[in-house]
Structure 1
Amino acid sequence: MITADFSILPVGIDNTECKEFVAKAVQAIKDSGLNYQLTGMGTHIEAENYAQLYDAIAKAQEAVFTAGTDRVYTVIKVDDRRDRENRTLNAKIKTVDDMLE
């Protein structure tokens, strides 16, 4: 399981509000069918392979362009762990939560 955290930022828009751009990007991720978690600072996503991952992020980036900007800045952090199976986003969180109890 590959997990990633990414943020897509529109550049050169007229104000500081980004919610319309975020909504378009998240809708593209939702449409991909991949598991994702929206956070206040970005989006976490799970994929079985790089093709799925990068295709979904590319579609989200394209959605931001379509929403009305001519430039975007995208930051992607990828965790590709191959020594353990089923390291989903929720499994990673549960591991830490279990240690806190």
Structure 2
Amino acid sequence: MITCDFAILPVGCDSTECKDYVAAAVQVVKDSGLHYELTGMGTQIEAEDLKELYDVIAKAQEAVFEVDVGRVYSVIKVDDRRDRPNRTLDAKIETVEKILK
């Protein structure tokens, strides 16, 4: 399982408000059928392979451009762990929570 945390930021907007841009990007992720979690600072998604992951991110970036902005800045963090199966977002959290007292 590949997990990813990403944010797509519009550059050169007339406002500091980003909700329309975020909604456009997240709608693409939602429509993809991939498991995702929206956070206050980005979006986390799970994918079975890199192509599937990068295709969704590319489409999300295009969706932000379509909201009428001329430049976007994307931050993408990918964890492609192949030594253990089923390392989902939830599994990673559960591992740490077991250690916490």
TM-score by length of 1: 0.97
Hey, what does 1:13 align to over in structure 2?
13
- What secondary structure sits across from 1:58 in the alignment? helix
1:36-92 Cα distance to aligned partner (Å, 9 max, x none): 111110011100001110001011101100011011000100101111000000000
The whole-number CA distance in structure 1 between the counterparts of 2:57 and 2:98 is 31
Hey, what does 1:42 align to over in structure 2?
42
Hey, what does 2:72 align to over in structure 1?
72
The whole-number CA distance in structure 2 between the counterparts of 1:55 and 1:34 is 12
Query: What number of residue pairs does the alignment pair up?
Result: 101
Amino acid at match of 1:100: L
Percent identity reads 70
Amino acid at match of 2:9: L
Contiguous gaps of at least 5 residues in structure 1 = none
Hey, what does 2:85 align to over in structure 1?
85
- What secondary structure sits across from 1:34 in the alignment? coil
TM-score by length of 2: 0.97
Contiguous gaps of at least 5 residues in structure 2 = none
The whole-number CA distance in structure 1 between the counterparts of 2:32 and 2:51 is 12
